[in-house]
Every structure is written in C-alpha cells, then in structure tokens.
Amino acid sequence: MNRREMLLTAGAGAVALLWPRPSLAQDAKGFTLPKLPYDYDALEPVIDKMTMTIHHTKHHQAYIDNLNKAIAGNADLQGKSIEELIANARSINPMTLRTAVINNGGGHLNHTFFWEIMAPKGQGGEPSAELAKAIEAYGGMQKLKDDVLAAALGRFGSGWAWVVVGANGALEVVSTANQDNPITATQNRPGRKPILGIDVWEHAYYLKYQNRRADYVKAWWNVANWKAISENYAKAKG
C-alpha cells in the first residue's frame, strides 16, 4: 500500500461519509470539477442558463483551482476526501491554510452538493416516506420553507441556507456565512449533516432576480430534487 492509498483508507474511516462520490475524492492532480447532472438550461425558468453556466464553469471551477493550489505539497491534506477536509477543517494549521480550505474546499463541497439536490422542474419527485415524516415532525412543509426563507434572508452578505439533521436526529434550519458548511465541527458543537442547501450568494441569482433574493428562494423549491434530498436524509440518519 503506498502513501496515497494509506491516506485514502485512513480518510474513509475517519468520518461518516455523507456523499461518498468519486467527484469528491482527490486524484493525483487534486480535485476536479464534476459534471452537472443535467444541461445548463435544464433548470429554466427557475435558474437561467447563463447563471448556471457561469456558476459551474467559473465560480465552482475557481474554488477547485484555489483549493488544489492551497493543499499542493501538503501531505497531510492530500488524498483526503473533500468531506473529511471540511468536517475537520478547524484543526488545520496554519490559519492561512485553514481559511483557504474552509473557503475553497467549502465552495467545492457546497456546489457539488447543490447541483445534485436540484432537478428540472417537475422531475424532482416527492420526499421519501421517512423524510416526509421528519418534515411533519418539524412542523410541516410550509414551516420548513418559511424557515429556509427566513434563514436565507437573515444571512447578511453571502452564504447558504440549509436543512440539516441535528445531533438529536431531528431536522433543523440553519444558515452559514460564505462557504462554511454545517458539517464543520467547532469547539462548542459537533458537525451537523446537511440534506438540503440553497446558495444565496448573489452570483447564484443576480442575473435573473437582481436584488430579489426572496423570489429566488421561493422559486427554488420548483427545482428541488426530493429523490436526492431523501437519499441525503437516509444517509444522514444512517
């Protein structure tokens, strides 16, 4: 077993992988941009083709390029999955490297996740029976959507609105700044597992919605991929 295989093996056991997909692993060149699971215009009219194209080929690509640059030559970080890097990001030193991983690695993880929880309008299906039960326990679908909207609007500047499975196994709605991901553990709190996250950076909606973040978030549910979100829920509970 060479060093890279050892690291990969060690990495796989270190955290419960929510999204154990090949696109989130490193190869010899580091991380690479995953293909979108649909065409750039597939989410029209909710998210326009130009936004999707720039968001995927420019913004997401830039996070990956900057992440690869940041971890190049750092044997401790190479070979780890993006999820493991982000879950344990607070223990990375020095601080400049930690910040680069949280921002750019978070950008890679969050965007990969975001593409996969969307589907063309009318093709997203319905929540699984288990997830539907959890949403009922939360207070119902309308309350969930209202709280996600409030989280999105309450996030000053750039960030994300999330639905996560918290420590007690119940659904919670949270928001994070910048490219922070809820799986990152802090001193006071273990990581939480996201099942849904909406990008509320202006680059995600400005071309079509301009300053109307609320309209974008309300419309977003039309492209929610409930099959993928339900799978995330099953993995987060498992």
Q: In terms of CB distance, is 11 or 114 closer to Mn ion?
A: 114
Q: Between 131 and 200, whose beta carbon lies closer to Mn ion? A: 200
Q: What residue ranges bind Mn ion (CB under 5 A)?
A: 199, 201, 204
- Counting Cα atoms < 13 Å in the Cβ hemisphere of 61 gives 9
CB of 60 to Mn ion, least distance (A): 7
Residue with tokens 């609007």: 153
At residue 177, φ and ψ (nearest 5 deg) are -85, 155
Q: What angle do CA 185, 190, 192 make, to 5 degrees?
A: 85
**Least distance between Mn ion and beta carbon 59 (Å):** 5
Minimum CB distance to Mn ion, residue 204 (Å): 5
Nearer to Mn ion, 179 or 184 (CB): 179
Q: Considering beta carbons, is residue 56 or 135 the nearer one to Mn ion?
A: 56
Closest CB to Mn ion among residues 127, 159: 159
In sequence order, the 6+-apart residues with CB closer than 8 A to the CB of 88 are 14, 15, 185
Helix (H) or strand (E) holding 151: helix 141-154
Smallest gap from residue 140 Cβ to Mn ion (A)? 29
Range list of β-strands (E), the chain: 159-165, 171-177, 193-199
Q: Cβ-closest residue to Mn ion?
A: 199
- Which of helix, strand or coil describes residue 30? strand
**Pairing of the two strands 171-177 and 159-165:** antiparallel
CB-nearer residue toward Mn ion: 23 or 78: 23
Q: Are 19 and 113 in contact (CB under 8 A)?
A: yes
Contact 171, 134 (CB under 8 A): yes
- By 3-state DSSP, what share of the chain in percent is helix, strand and coil, each rounded to 5? 50, 10, 40
Cβ at position 160, least distance to Mn ion in Å: 9
By beta-carbon proximity to Mn ion, the closer residue of 32 and 78 is 32
- Please report how close the Cβ of residue 112 comes to Mn ion at its closest, in angstroms: 11
CB of 45 to Mn ion, least distance (A): 19
